[in-house]
């Protein structure tokens, strides 16, 4: 009998410790939950709150990445012009492809000159990274536009067929 009483006491002690842990979230955790718009519940543990915070931060990171991927052509154009100005490339048109090609050509010239002066390689590497990012984003944008136009064309054709116009 004494074994069962001590195991009941141990169980009740563990339960009371868990209840104390559940009701005590740090002020920092509470404020972080509030910043992220997560409802704080009385029974929430520090681990549960931490998991919800990580999940919300990951979701925000995905949204930020999607916003970057969904850049408009004017955003990419302005970034390309800024990079061209930073590199000293004269830009005379508003054609993104042409600007990116001009930047790439100038970057090749700069890389050839950097063989004699390797101190500039880190700066040129930064330019190359920016150019690659702009090029990839612009290609993604063009592909998305082409897909949208193809889908719109298909809807148009389907509408004509369903109305007996074709």
DSSP code for 133: H
- On whether the CB atoms of residues 137 and 69 are closer than 8 A, the answer is yes
Do residues 83 and 131 touch, judged by C-beta distance below 8 A? yes
Instruction: Record the tokens describing residue 33, joined without a space.
Output: 């939950």
Q: What is the DSSP letter of 70?
A: T
Other CB atoms within 10 A of residue 114 CB: 17
Please tell me the distance from the alpha carbon of residue 135 to that of residue 137, in angstroms, as a whole number: 6
User: What does the pLDDT profile of the chain (166 residues) look like in tens digits?
Assistant: 444 454 444 444 544 454 444 446 777 777 677 667 676 667 778 877 777 778 777 777 665 555 555 678 999 999 999 999 999 998 888 899 999 999 999 999 998 888 888 788 888 888 999 999 999 999 999 999 999 999 999 999 999 999 998 7
């Amino acid at each position: 009998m004494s074994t069962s009483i001590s195991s009941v006491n141990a169980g009740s002690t563990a339960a009371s410790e868990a209840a104390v842990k559940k009701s005590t979230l740090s002020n920092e955790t509470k404020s972080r939950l509030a910043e992220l718009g997560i409802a704080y519940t009385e029974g929430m543990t520090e681990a549960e709150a931490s998991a919800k915070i990580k999940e919300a931060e990951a979701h925000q990171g995905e949204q930020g990445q999607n916003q970057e991927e969904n850049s408009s052509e004017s955003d990419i154009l302005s970034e390309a012009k800024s990079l061209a100005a930073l590199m000293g490339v004269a830009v005379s048109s508003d054609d993104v492809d042409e600007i990116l090609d001009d930047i790439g050509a100038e970057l090749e010239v700069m890389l050839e000159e950097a063989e004699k002066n390797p101190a500039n390689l880190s700066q040129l590497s930064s330019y190359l990274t920016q150019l690659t990012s702009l090029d990839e984003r612009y290609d993604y944008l063009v592909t998305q536009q082409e897909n949208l136009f193809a889908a719109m064309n298909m809807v148009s054709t389907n509408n004509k067929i369903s109305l007996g116009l074709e």
